[in-house]
Structure 1
Amino acid sequence: MEIQHFTHAHPLKLVDSNQKDEVICSICEELCSSSSSTYGCMECKFFLHKSCMKSIPRQLINHRIHPCTLIFITFSYGFEECDCCGDYIVPRMKFSCEACDLNLRVKCALFPTIDSEDAKEIQHFFHPHTLALVHNDEEYGSEPRCVACAQICLATAPTFRCSRSCDHFFLHKSCFFKLPGKSVNIKHPFHPRHPLTITSLPYNDHIRTCDACCRGIDSTLLAYSCREYECKFNLHLDCYELLPSIRFSGHKHLLSLFEKTPDLSCHLCGENCCNFVLRCVPCDINIHLQCFPSAPKTIKHKCHLHPLILTKSPLEYELNSDEEEDEFYCDVCEQKRNQKELIYYCVECKFIAEVNCVVSQVLS
């Protein structure tokens, strides 16, 4: 009827079944249902499932978020933020690495992970609910998309979905490993003023737009966002991976190469950037690839015998053609191309290469 547990200074007494539906377990932070035995300290409003009491360890070794051993600690004063999710640590018990000044609330430290092949359910800081493994024969609607990569979740790829009411939340198992181990204090050169937080919760006050590529962010997808109220800076997961690497004489920041950006104008020529653009995200400066001083006007590429010349499309013979616009192709990838986009061209052979097919040679 009464237990002394290392997570709390006072003895914990068995909670009456009529009271369990009103209290929350301090370890898993789930409602103490009638199906599980619950112990608590009424004076401190501290409650634990019996199963959680048995399963919580005094230390964690080789944790996914932190390589050092994490020690369970209770503290009676002050407010600390969890270094995983950013929320305040309540009710003042944590897993900590004193040497590295790292503190995790118990729920974040004990998140189930998918390191093992037989994991059927996981949880992570970027979503409030557990994620359950989808069975290949399970019916879950037409063409669900992964919240990380936005690709369709096919039955052959191991996929997790929200076990609660978030019908849109699917995550490839492979995509999980590419996500960071913590949500807060993530710094990026695109936004040096404030740290970013990875989140799956859409804003209610405005439509989110990626400040790197200027394309919209689907409200169902994960994104990196700035928590500062007046800032509202956001990044696609893909854009977060893109680091500035191109130097422009006279500018303090490095530039990044973006393939598609809507409604941006080149700061050198004033024309719309409908294809590749070199962009300084913090300064919101855009430069056409053809306007960039060091961009080669002629390249030699393995895809063609002769040199290729940087050319504006459409070409004269294309304008005089009777073929429909969607019937023009890149001779490298043999895919349909937009006639309005920049190309590298061989006049002698009428060989056309899209910039993205030869971009490695262009940047070198």
Structure 2
Amino acid sequence: MEDQHLCRRNHILLLKDSEINNEKKNCELCHGFLTEAPYYVCDSCEYYVHKSCEELPKQINKYPLHPRHPLSLTTRDARCNCCGQASEKRLVFSCVGCDFDLDVECFKMSNSITACPEGQHCIQHSSHPHLLLLVETTNAIHEDEDIDVRCFACQSKSSPSESLDGGVYYGCNRCKYFLHKQCIDQLPQEIQTSHHPNHNRLFLLMKRQRYCKCNTCGSTDESALYFECSQCDFRLCLECGVRRTRIIKHKDHPHLLCFVEKINNAVEQCNVYDTCLKQSIMCNTKEFHKTNSFKFLCLDCDFKLHLLCGPLPSIIKHDSHMHSLDLVDSFIEDNSGEYCCDVCEDERNPRIRVYCCQKCKYIAHVHCVISEVINVLKGDLRDVKLKVLGEDLWEFPKEIDHAVSPLTLRDLIHKLTDRELGWLKYRFNWDEENEGEEVSKTTTEDDNIDEVLKFSNLTEADFMSFILEEFESTFWKRKLRIKYSDLALTLVDIKGYSIPLHLASAMNNLLHKYGDISTKYECSQQLKSMGFFFVCKVMKEMHTTLVIDITKHLLQQWHHYLYFVKYWAGFQVDFLKSSLRKITRDFYYQQLSKVVDKEFPMKIEKKKAELQKKMAEMIAGYDVGLVKCKNLRESSTTEEHLKEGLERAMNVKWKVASQVGRSSLLHLQ
């Protein structure tokens, strides 16, 4: 019964070897004419089909060029992804979801065990389902001038004279598919890579689409080949697949990262949490743009780091200096306010990491020693110490062990009791649905001038009294937003508390120096964890923000967090409040110092000129209005229709609107 073939009505088809009559019949599968026997027929249904079409499998599982999904036999106009030709019979094996089509002839070639022609040499290659015949460009291939003999791997048309065996190809003439023998020898047909730990192997395949994006470097190179996972959409370009880009561990991210270079020059969002490089002023610096084409990428999620934020070699040796250079997050050798690189002698931004020899006070931009940095990152990293941004913030004997949790900060909030959730909502708000980037509050130059002038009229005592009262009043009147990006933070378990991974070092430092500061009130571990999140966030931002970059808005945020953990969670944060008072006092003097800055009067003059210009434009507008008033008043005494309209306006201005339009309303009724 299994070998029987049925028509649509499940009638048994009869195989006929006799010649078909003169009447033209179409094959029910490929819609081509039945011109000769054998064929299948159901006379009662007048159902005819080619024997070769009927005996095709209805489904193919794990076809070499498309192993992820089964291919189903269907009828449609399509171009074969194997040979690149339009199917003549309109009968193809398709995966509609992937837009992959395979014509019947290519299937038959790959499905049959075809022996090589006598005296020839053939191979089976993972990138192509048909046997590839060994040929030389000096003979058989060039007999057909229309064949474009181009290697699908390297995309070159090299001749024997250009390389030792560059003119020797393996090829499939039907599909116009060729590979250099040299490229085949150099390219593995499958690889195992730690880029993609979820599945075991990646296979060398021919591209199904013109543009296939590499999951490592993001490129869509011209090569027709790439390495692909047979179980998911993960793929690598030839360069990334062959060179096996080095895998790097980042202490603030649970997955492995890979280093890639020269992928693009677009300014992309960096996922290092709350670093100075997220400030817009940093994205306009020379240091940033000189290194922006280098990235650290996570292949398991969308986590990415700028080179200047990521794990860099802690020590390098460079030809520009006799001693080794140490990586530091910031190096300020004096209070001059003018800092430069000793390699290029150009100005440098003290907020950005540099390599330096502290003994000689020798400082180098990262981009000025980038050749050595890249050599280290692309080499053997087993004995290399890499340092992430902010690693030097805390110094204590030993870190407390922590385990990565599957929870996020969002999950932690959902675990709060109803009462505690109400407390949190009373002083904070958040949007769990909005995935857009939060826009941070910025201070314009005009706002800054007004603020500086306002503060300059206050003594230190008056300022401290005024600003602290304002912050506390704002805390009770206005909610602070928990950013959407905060809600997605991965948590780790430290001493029973759930803390975002990037704040683990701050939590370790806190427990080491002050112990558990949350024991005053009885509340859930979840609320205490939220309190530790706020405290550690303030601590880390205090350690990574230069005094010159502190704004009133940032101070207000820090005070807001500490007010909450004190009043609602009972945290003992006097040590942090004391530090914050000193920082707030220094902020006052930073603002006051701007008054004596030689550029500050120029800013005031500029603002004054802008206001005068704006005022002059407003006065000119009012003058035009006065002229219009005069012209209208004079014309109303001479123009009859204008006079009537103005009199009507005087008569109806104390009536309700329905009285004016009463006749119309009565008409509608």
Q: What is the TM-score with the length of structure 1 in the denominator?
A: 0.48
Structure with a larger share of its residues in helix:
2
Structure with a larger share of its residues in strand:
1
Q: What is the TM-score with the length of structure 2 in the denominator?
A: 0.30
- Larger Rg over CA atoms: 2
